[in-house]
Amino acid sequence: MKVLVFVEQRDGKIKSSAFEALSVAAKLAGNPGDVAAVLIGSGVGGLTGSLAGYGADTVFTADGGDFTHFNVLAYAAAMQEAVKAFSPQVILGAATPMGRDLFPRLAARLDAGLMTDVTELSWSGSGLAGTKPMYAGKCLAQVATQGGAVHMASIRPNVFPANKSGAGAAKAQALTVSGASSDRLKTVEIRKGKSAKPDLTEAHVIISGGRAMANADNFKILNECADVIGATVGASRAAVDSGYATHDMQVGQTGKTVNPNLYIACGISGSIQHMAGMRTSKVIVAINTDADAPIFGVANYGIVADLFQAVPIMTKKFKELLG
């Protein structure tokens, strides 16, 4: 089986979720020669060495001015060229905002079955089989692709381990992409936040605040703790709606779905909307003055206390533990 992996990069840095997808591809294919990666962007040729040892024998590169900023039409055209060159049975990528935009369009062009945001993935003999959380994580659906020459899937970040199985360098192969430049859609500018910390969807540790934060200035308590433990700061919808935090910080059904190793919920009651976005976190710590708050129902550890007293103590202890 030949597996093609879309490797997402931003500003010349490969996303950690891309290494996870490559590791899944290597396991599916079994043979390094049957795994290839696709790098798209401007000046991405130098990134191929970063993929060494993660299972890809070939790295296709689409490099040029048409790919400076993400443009779904240009990226889809590049992926199509890679498919023509490699003839894969399976195409994998991460269920990131970019992946959610690119993969449905590519699946339509290839007339391929597509499974999205899966947390388990295997080959069933005639297609892909996987597990997908649904209804705010209340149930796990068994999904599969059937028929067709190509099968596609996007995996949820921070679920699959990124295993570096060797040190061999992959050979680079440049793609000639026709139709990358289009007047139908042009990406003029991408505006980014000021934070240099990982995006919530890829963060391994998250500390979030709710309505109990009371105002935007109080989020400095969470930022201080986040700086110590290398966390990204999130927020509930209530905090965002109240103007305490920006929308890019929102965790939940109408925000971002996260899956960190550690999620610390501060002053968050645990609405269905919020828990839909974080209940699959590996370890959940909840801090709330209400002992009956729903968040304690999904938390591994619960602290019934005022967050303004508990978080500074935690920050102090983290500093001591981490030296």
Using one digit for the tens of pLDDT, what is the confidence trace for 137-151? 778 999 999 888 999
**What's the CA angle centered on 293, arms 277 and 156, to 5 degrees?**
15
The gap from C-alpha 6 to its chain's centroid, in whole angstroms, comes to: 13
What confidence category does residue 289 fall into, taking pLDDT thresholds of 50, 70 and 90?
very high
CB 86 within 8 A of CB 5: no
Across the chain, mean pLDDT equals: 92
**Quick one: pLDDT at residue 30?**
83
In percent, how much of the chain has pLDDT > 70? Answer: 98
Span 18-40, average pLDDT: 91
CB 259 within 8 A of CB 156: yes
**Quick one: pLDDT at residue 187?**
82
Span 174-190, average pLDDT: 82
Other beta carbons within 10 angstroms of residue 263's beta carbon come to 29
**Quick one: pLDDT at residue 193?**
66
Span 60-75, average pLDDT: 92
**Quick one: pLDDT at residue 167?**
60
In total, the chain counts a number of residues equal to: 323
Nearest to 154, CA basis, from 113, 109, 190:
113
User: pTM value?
Assistant: 0.86
**Which residue is associated with the tokens 């030296």?**
323
Nearest-angstrom CA–CA distance, 177 and 44: 15
**Quick one: pLDDT at residue 52?**
83
pLDDT at 158 over 70: yes
**Quick one: pLDDT at residue 138?**
78
**Quick one: pLDDT at residue 171?**
86
CB 89 within 8 A of CB 149: yes
What confidence category does residue 183 fall into, taking pLDDT thresholds of 50, 70 and 90?
confident
* Least reliable range by pLDDT among 11-25, 159-173, 299-313: 159-173
pLDDT at 135 over 90: no
In percent, how much of the chain has pLDDT > 90? Answer: 72
Element housing 237 (H / E): helix 237-241
Indicate if 205-321 has the same CATH topology as 3-174.
yes
**Quick one: DSSP state of residue 170?**
P
Nearest-angstrom CA–CA distance, 182 and 180: 6
Instruction: Locate the domains of the chain by residue range.
Output: 3-174, 205-321
Span 183-199, average pLDDT: 77
* Least reliable range by pLDDT among 95-99, 179-183, 288-292: 179-183
**Which residue is associated with the tokens 């109990």?**
212
Q: What CATH class has 205-321?
A: alpha beta
> What's the CATH fold of domain 3-174?
Rossmann fold (3.40.50)
Span 86-95, average pLDDT: 96
Determine the angle formed by the axes of helices 72-86 and 97-110, rounding to 10 degrees. 60
| Rg, C-alpha atoms of the chain | 21
The gap from C-alpha 310 to its chain's centroid, in whole angstroms, comes to: 30
Nearest-angstrom CA–CA distance, 145 and 308: 49
pLDDT tens per residue, range 201-238: 889 999 999 999 999 999 999 999 999 999 999 999 99
pLDDT tens per residue, range 119-129: 999 998 889 99
Structure tokens at 136: 């705010």
